[in-house]
Structure 1
Amino acid sequence: MENIVLLKLPIDISTFRKMRKSGYLYVDKTKYAYDLITGGNRYFLSRPRRFGKSLFVSTLREILHGNKELFEGLWIHNSDYNWEKYGVIEFDLSSLGIDSTETFKTGLCHALGEVVQDYSLEVEISTTNPELALRDVVKELYNRFGRVAILVDEYDNPILQVLKDANQAEEIRNATRRFFAAIKGMDAFIDFVFITGVSAFARAGLFSGINNLLDITLDNAYSNICGYTNEEVDSYFSDYIKEWCNLENISYDDLRLQIKTWYNGYTFGSNLFSVYNPFSFMNALRARSFKNFWFQSGTPNFLVEELKKEYRKEEYRIIDPEKFETTEESLGIFEVRATPLPSLMFQTGYLTIKNFDKGKKLYRLGYPNYEVKTALQTHLLGIFTQLDFISAERISLQLRAALIAGNIDEVITLIKQLFTNVPYQLHMKEEKFYHALLQVTFGAAGIKSQSEYSMSHGRIDLLLELPNVLYVIEIKLNSSVDVALDQVDQRHYYESLLVYGKPITLLGLSFKREPKNFDLTYKVKYINNSQEK
C-alpha cells in the first residue's frame, strides 16, 4: 500500500501563519471570516476553552493584514475578497498577566505599545491610561490605512482568574467595561471588531459601550465556526483515521462511530448541527487511543471554585443535567457573584444544546459526548463525596467492574463508601436526591444508564446497560427494601427488556440517612441468569 505523508496535527497550535508555513493541517474556516469581515460589524463569540477561538482570531488577523499568499488553496483565496489592508490592534488578554485593575491598565498599554512598534508609528502613548493610549493608536492607524480593526481574544480571562474574589473580579469587569466604552468613542475610526471569550458577560452589559455588537454565539449561521463537523472529519482526517484502523485492525466505520461517541456532540444553535471538540479529537488521532484529553488538560479554576460554593448546594440536590431546560437569554447570563448552574456549565463546555422547542423557545441541555459525561460526573461525584478526582475515578471503575461481575455485595459496599462521605447538610429527604446521586455515580463509571425509563405499565427508576447484563434498579428512602424489589418484580418492569437477550438483575435499594448514621440495604432477584432465584 502506498505510504501517504500526513500533515502535522495542529495540537495546541493557534497561530495561523505557523500552521501554513510549517506543514500543519488546517481545516478551512475562511468562509466564516469572509462573511464577518465583509459584513463590517462588531461581533462577539463565546466558545469553551481549547475550541479554536484563538486560531480563528489569528486567521482574521492575517486576512486583515492582507497576507493573501498564506491562504492559497483555501476558500477565501478564490473568492472576491479585495485583500485591502487594515491597521490591526490585537489583544490576547490571557497573555498579559492581569490580576488587578493596575495590571489590567498597564497590560493593555503594553499591548498597544507593541502595536506602535510593529507599525513604527510616530506617536507617544500613555503607559497607564489604556483609553487614552487606544485613542492615539487608533487615530494613527486610521490616518495610515483608512481602516482599523480591533481583535480581542479571551476578553474575560482577567475576570475569571480572580473570580474567587468577587470584589476584585467586579473591579476588573468595570475596568474592562470602561475600556470597551473607549472603543465606542472611536467608532467613526473603527471598521471591524471581533471579541472572543468563554463566558458571556456581554449579556450583563459589559459591551454596552460598543455600538451594534452582534452576539453570534448561538447564531445558526456560525454554529460551526469552531470545532469540526462530521463532513470536515471525513474530508480532512480520513487518512489519519485509516492509519489508526490498520493499527487496531478495526473497520473505518466502527472506529468513526467510537470517535463520534467520544468527541462529537457540541451544538451551538437551534439548528442542532453538532461539532467535534478539536483538541480531544486531534489528541486521540495522535495517541491512537480514547482518553479524556480535554478534561485532563485542565478544568478552569473558576469553575472548580464555583462548584464548591455554599449556595450551589440547593442546585446539586436536584441535579440532573440532562433535564435542564433554559432560554437563550438565560444561557447568556454570567454574573460575578452568582451564575445559574445550566448557564455556567454550558458556557464552560460541560453541557451543550440537545434539543430546541421552537414553540416554547426553550433549549434542552445535556452532555455533549462520552468524554465529557464521564469526566464531569466523576468530578461532581468527587465534589459530592469530598474525594479528589483520582479517588472518585478509582472507586467508580471498581464499581463498574463489580457490576459486570455480578458481585452485588461489592457494589453495595462501594456505594456505601461513596455516599457515607456526602455531608449530611447536602442530603435531601427525597428519593430524587439519591436517584440523581446514583446516576452521577454510574455515569462516572462510564455505564450507560437511563433515568426514569418509561414503559406501558410503569417507570423504572434506573436502567443500567452493561456488556453482559442489564440492571433494573428501584430506589426507596426510609422504606422497606422488600417494597423496592416487589415493585419491579411484581409489576414485571423487566419483561419489555427481554428482547435484549441479556441476563437481567432486579435490584431494590433502600436508603436511610440520619444525622450520625447512613445505611443502605438491598435485595436482588435474577432473571434469565444462571444465578436466578
Structure 2
Amino acid sequence: MEIQQLKRCPVGIQTFSEIIENNYVYVDKTEYVYRLTHSDAKYFFLSRPRRFGKSLLTSTLRCYFEGRRDLFKGLAIDRLETEWAESPVLHFDMSLAKHVDKDTLESMLGFQLSQYEKIYGKSDGANKLNDRLTSLIIRVNELTGLKVVVLIDEYDAPLLDVMHEERDLPVLRNVMRNFYSPLKACDPYLRFVFLTGITKFSQLSIFSELNNISNISMDDPYAAICGITEKEMLEHLDGYIERLAEKLGLPHDEAVRKLKERYDGYHFTWPSPDIYNPFSLLNAFSKNKIDNYWFGSGTPTYLIEMLRKYDVTPQEIGQRETLASAFDAPTERLLNITPLLYQSGYITIKDKDEETGLYILDIPNAEIRTGLMESLLPNYLASRTEQGMTLVAKMYRAILRNNIDNALTLMQQFLLTVPYCDNTDYEGHYQQLFYVIFTLFGMYVDVEVRTPRGRVDIVMRAGGKLYVIEMKLNRSAADAISQIDLKDYPSRFALCGLPIAKVGINFDSGKRTITDWKIEQC
C-alpha cells in the first residue's frame, strides 16, 4: 500500500520549540503540563530513566511559562488554558555537568548562572554559587515584578557516575547541595519549581530541606507524562508503523507485536498504561528498523559498578518483589540494588499484590534484557568480547536449527576464550554464564525452576523446543541426566505443548570448560 508522507521523527531533539517550529512529529503531552501547572503544589520532582523525555517535558514547561502560545496551537493545552500568564524562567540543564571534578562542576554551574546575570545583572556581594542563585532569583523578581519559575533538568547528572565512590560522591554532593539550597529560602519569590532526575539523593537540600516538594514520579495522574503509550503510538505514529510493516514484510498487527515486545512494558505506578521507550521507538521509526537503540546509546558505568558492589548475578536482576518504600529509596541509603535498577529503567513495575502491597518488578522488554546481558558479557570475556560474541551468534544459529549438540560444541570453544578468573570452581558461575549467553539470543531462559521434586538448573525455550538442562561440576553428563530422570523434571512441563529435550552437561573446573554432555529426547 502507498504510505502517506510522514513528518520527521525528532530523534535526539529535546527542545519543544524546535520540534514545533520545524514540523517534527510531536506526541502531545501538554494536557499533563496543564495539570501540573494548575495543581495545588509549587515544588515538583519527576524521576524517569535517561532518554525518556524529561528534557523535552522541561523545555515544554519553559515555553508554556514564557507565554509562547503560538507553539501550542492545536495541542491539548490550547483548549484548556485561558490565561497564559507569563513568568520569567531560570532553566538549568545539569546534563552538561557529567564526568566532572569539583572545580569543573563549580565552573559549569557558574557559567549557567552568568548567562542569566548578563540579562538581569549581578549583585556585587554574591560570589558563592548559592549566594549568586539567591541574588539572581530576588533580582529577577524585583526587576520584572513577577514570581520566578525555576526548572532544573537532570538535577543528579553530576553525581550518577560517582555514586559508587566513597571519595568523590561527598565532594560533588556538597557542591550540588550548596547550589540548590536557596530554593527553600527564596520561596516568596518563586511561582513554580520543577526538577527532573533519575535517582533520589536524599542528602541534597532538595529532599532534606524542601519537605513540601511533591514527588510525582509514582502518581497515577502522571503515569504517562513521559514515554509513549500504545494508544498514543497508534494515534500519532500509525503511519510509521505502516511504513515499518511494509519494510519488514509483515502485517500491521505483527509489526505492532514486534515493537511491543522490544520497546514496551514500562509502568511507573500500578495500574498504569503500557509505556514504550520513546527514544527507541522514535529511532525505530526514523531508521525504519527495529534495533536496540536505547541500550546502544550507552550503558551507564555506574550500573555495572553497582551490580558488582551488591554482588548481583545476571539472573537476579529481574523478578523482584518489594514494597514501594524500598524500591523508591534514596540513593545514599540503599540496602540493595532494587531502587537503582528501577529508577534507571532496567526493571519496572509489572504487577501489584493488593493484599500485601508488594510490587512485582521485572525487566521491561527484550531490548533491556538483551542489552543488559550484552553489557555483562565483557565481565566474563575481558578483552576477548568480540571473539566471544561471534561464537554466541553461531550458537544462536545452531539452536534455532535444533542442533543443540553443535551449540554445545561451540559453547565448549566459547568457554576456552574466557580468561582465567577467580571463583569459577562452583556450579553457579557456569549457570550465570549460560543465563547471560542464552538471554542474549532473545530466548526464554529461566534458572532454578521449581518442580514438585526439586529445582531444574536451567529451562530454555528455543527453536520450537523446551530444553530441561541440568549441570554438574567435575562429575559427568550421565550424572546430570540421571538427576533429571530421578526427579522427573520433564513432567513439570508436560503441558507446555512443545517437544522436550533433556540435556546433561558436565564442567571441568580445572579445564574451565565443558568436558562432556548428553542429550535425550523425552
With structure 1 as the length reference, what TM-score do the two structures score?
Answer: 0.88
In the TM superposition, 1:176-255 aligns within 5 A as: 176-202=176-202, 207-255=207-255
Q: Are 1:139 and 2:157 counterparts?
A: no
Task: Write out aligned runs for 1:12-91 (5 A).
Answer: 12-39=12-39, 40-91=41-92
Counterpart position of 1:435: 431
Among 393, 418, 442, the alignment partner of 1:397 is 393
Q: Which amino acid in the other structure matches residue 113 of structure 2?
A: L
Partner residue of 1:366? Answer: 362
CA distance in 2 between counterparts of 1:419 and 1:455 reads: 29
Contact residue 32 and residue 222 of structure 1 kept, 8 A = yes
- Give the counterpart letter for 1:207 in structure 2: F
Task: Report the alpha carbon displacement of residue 283 of structure 1 after superposing the two structures with TM.
Answer: 1.0
Tell me, which stretches of 5 or more residues in structure 2 are unaligned? none
In 2, Cα distance between equivalents of 1:37 and 1:7 = 29
Listed as ranges, the gaps of 5+ residues in structure 1 are 529-533
1:322 alignment partner in structure 2: 318
| CA distance in 2: counterparts of 1:63 and 1:132, whole angstroms | 28
Q: What are the Cα deviations for residues 352-401 of structure 1, in whole angstroms up to 9, with x where unaligned?
A: 22222333333232111111101111222221343565444333222212
Say whether the 8 Å CA contact 2:44–2:216 is kept in structure 1. Answer: yes
Q: 2:291 matched to which residue of 1?
A: 291
Query: Structure 2 matches for 1:268-283, cutoff 5 A?
Result: 268-283=268-283
Contact 2:203 2:332 in 1 (8 A): no
Distance in 1, Cα, partners of 2:481 & 2:453: 16
Q: Is the 8 A contact 1:393 1:445 kept in 2?
A: no
Structure 1 residues 204 and 137: alpha-carbon distance in aligned structure 2, compared to 1, 3 A threshold? closer
Q: 2:423 aligned to 426, 445, 454, which one?
A: 426
| 1:193, distance to aligned residue in structure 2 (A) | 0.9
Query: For residue 110 of structure 1, what is the aligned residue in structure 2?
Result: 111
8 A Cα contact 2:481 2:518, kept in partner = yes
Q: Distance in 1 between matches of 2:323 and 2:195?
A: 23
Per-residue CA deviations over 1:76-129 (Å, capped at 9, x if unaligned) read 110045211111111001225772333333322322222234xx4254467741
Tell whether the 8 Å contact from 1:138 to 1:148 is kept in structure 2 after alignment. Answer: yes
* Equivalent residues of 1:181, 1:207 under 8 A apart: no
Contact 2:449 2:457 in 1 (8 A): yes
Contact 1:170 1:336 in 2 (8 A): no
* Kept in 2: contact 1:325–1:364 (CA 8 A): yes
CA contact (8 A) 1:320 1:436 kept: no
Contact kept, 8 Å, 1:354 with 1:363, in 2: the verdict is yes
**Which residue of 1 is the match for residue 257 of structure 2?**
257
Select the residue among 488, 491, 499 that pairs with 2:484. Answer: 488
Name the amino acid aligned to 1:258. K
Out of 509, 512, 519, the position equivalent to 1:518 is 512
2:466 matched to 1:470?
yes
Distance 1:472 1:487 in 2: 11
Question: Matched residue of 2:84: which SS?
Answer: coil
Aligned partners of 2:156 and 2:199 also within 8 Å: yes
Query: Within 2, Cα distance between the matches of 1:326 and 1:388?
Result: 37
Q: Whole-Å Cα distance in 2 between the matches of residues 408 and 251 of structure 1?
A: 32
User: Compared with structure 1, are the counterparts of its residues 328 and 482 closer, same or farther at alpha carbon in structure 2 (3 Å cutoff)?
Assistant: same
Aligned-pair distance for 1:475?
A: 2.6
- The total of aligned residue pairs comes to 519
* In structure 2, distance between residues paired with 1:442 and 1:86: 55
3-state SS, counterpart of residue 266 of structure 1: coil
Q: How many Å separate the matches in 1 of 2:173 and 2:437?
A: 37
Cα drift, residue 433 of structure 1? 4.9
Contact 1:110 1:127 in 2 (8 A): no
Q: How does 1:4-19 map to 2 (within 5 A)?
A: 4-19=4-19
CA 446–389 in structure 1, closer or farther in 2 if over 3 Å, else same: farther
How far 1:218 moved relative to its partner?
A: 2.0
What amino acid sits opposite 1:396 in the alignment? Answer: V
Report the CA distance shift for 1:511/1:81 in structure 2 as closer, same or farther (over 3 A): farther
* Shift, 1:522, TM fit: 4.2
Query: Is the Cα contact below 8 Å between 1:43 and 1:215 reproduced in 2?
Result: yes
Report how far residue 74 of structure 1 moved: 0.8
Corresponding residue number in structure 1 for 2:339 = 343
Q: Secondary structure at the match of 1:178?
A: helix
- Tell me which of 422, 442, 452 is aligned to 1:446: 442
The 3 A distance-change label for structure 1 pair 2 and 289 is closer
Measure how far apart 1:498 and its partner are. 6.1
Given that 1:400 and 1:447 are in contact with CA atoms closer than 8 Å, whether structure 2 keeps it comes out as: no
Structure 1 range deviating more: 475-484 or 253-262: 475-484
Deviation digits for residues 492-532 of structure 1 (CA, Å, limit 9, x no counterpart) = 5435756666543210123343xx5435344434437xxxx
Q: Which residue of 2 aligns with 1:377?
A: 373
Query: Letter of the aligned partner of 1:439 in structure 2?
Result: Y
Q: Secondary structure at the match of 1:363?
A: strand
* 1:315 alignment partner AA: V
**Secondary structure of 2:207's partner?**
coil
Match of 1:302 in 2: 302
Q: How many angstroms apart in 2 are the aligned matches of 1:63 and 1:165?
A: 39
Partner SS state of residue 400, structure 2: helix
- Say if 1:446 and 1:105 are closer, same or farther in 2 by CA, change over 3 A: same
Quote the residue 1:531 is aligned against.
Answer: none
Q: Within 1, Cα distance between the matches of 2:203 and 2:6?
A: 43
SS of residue paired to 2:217: coil
* Alignment equivalent of 1:415, drawn from 411, 416, 423: 411
The alpha carbon displacement at 1:41 in A equals 2.0
Classify 1:211/1:519 alpha carbon distance in 2 versus 1 (closer, same or farther; 3 Å): closer
Task: Give a deviation string over 1:200-226, Cα, whole Å, max 9, x none.
Answer: 214776531224112222222212111
Q: Flag the 1:103–1:81 CA change in 2: closer, same or farther, 3 A.
A: farther
Aligned residue for 1:386, secondary structure, equals helix
Letter in 1 for 2:375: H
SS in structure 1 opposite 2:438?
A: helix
CA spacing shift, 1:80–1:417, aligned 2, 3 Å: same
3-state SS, counterpart of residue 470 of structure 1: strand
| Matching residue's letter, 2:352 | F
Could you tell me which amino acid in structure 1 is paired with residue 389 of structure 2? E
Assess if the C-alpha contact under 8 Å between 1:109 and 1:127 holds in 2. Answer: no
Query: Secondary structure of 1:13's partner?
Result: coil
CA contact (8 A) 2:48 2:343 kept: yes
Q: Secondary structure at the match of 1:322?
A: coil
